């Protein structure tokens, strides 16, 4: 069971592709009035958008602001800004 901030980070580090786990962590952060929950939601939404989408560019300034607040160590543990996962739709790269 995940009860602490570190529990969530360790679980995410061991299962980095589990998007649902990240969103559960976002809920947990929201319940603890932690703005990093918003960052996770934005990161996950942007991950689904093509880079040319207007919504991507609407979200990017807020994402960058929240990344700065969260710090490089935390973002690194979450793999935000450290890797670019290819997105495939119908077997071909998308975005």
pLDDT band at 93 (very low <50, low <70, confident <90, very high): low
92 φψ region: left (φ > 0), alpha (ψ -120 to 50), beta (else): beta
Q: Give the residue-averaged pLDDT of 37-51.
A: 95
Rounded Cα–Cα distance for residues 28 and 53 (Å): 29
The residue ranking higher by pLDDT, 50 or 95, is 50
- Residue that is written with structure tokens 């998007």 in the block: 19
- Residue that is written with structure tokens 């918003």 in the block: 38
Rounded Cα–Cα distance for residues 17 and 34 (Å): 23
The tens digit of pLDDT for each residue in 57-66 reads 999 999 999 9
Q: Diameter of the chain by CA atoms?
A: 40
């Amino acid at each position: 069971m995940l009860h602490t901030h570190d529990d969530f980070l360790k679980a995410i580090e061991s299962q980095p592709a589990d998007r649902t786990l990240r969103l559960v962590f976002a809920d947990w952060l929201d319940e603890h009035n932690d703005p990093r929950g918003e960052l996770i939601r934005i990161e996950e939404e942007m991950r689904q958008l093509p880079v040319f989408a207007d919504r991507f560019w609407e979200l990017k300034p807020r994402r960058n602001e929240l990344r700065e607040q969260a710090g490089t160590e935390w973002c690194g543990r979450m793999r935000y800004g450290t890797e670019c996962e290819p997105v495939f739709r119908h077997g071909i790269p998308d975005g």
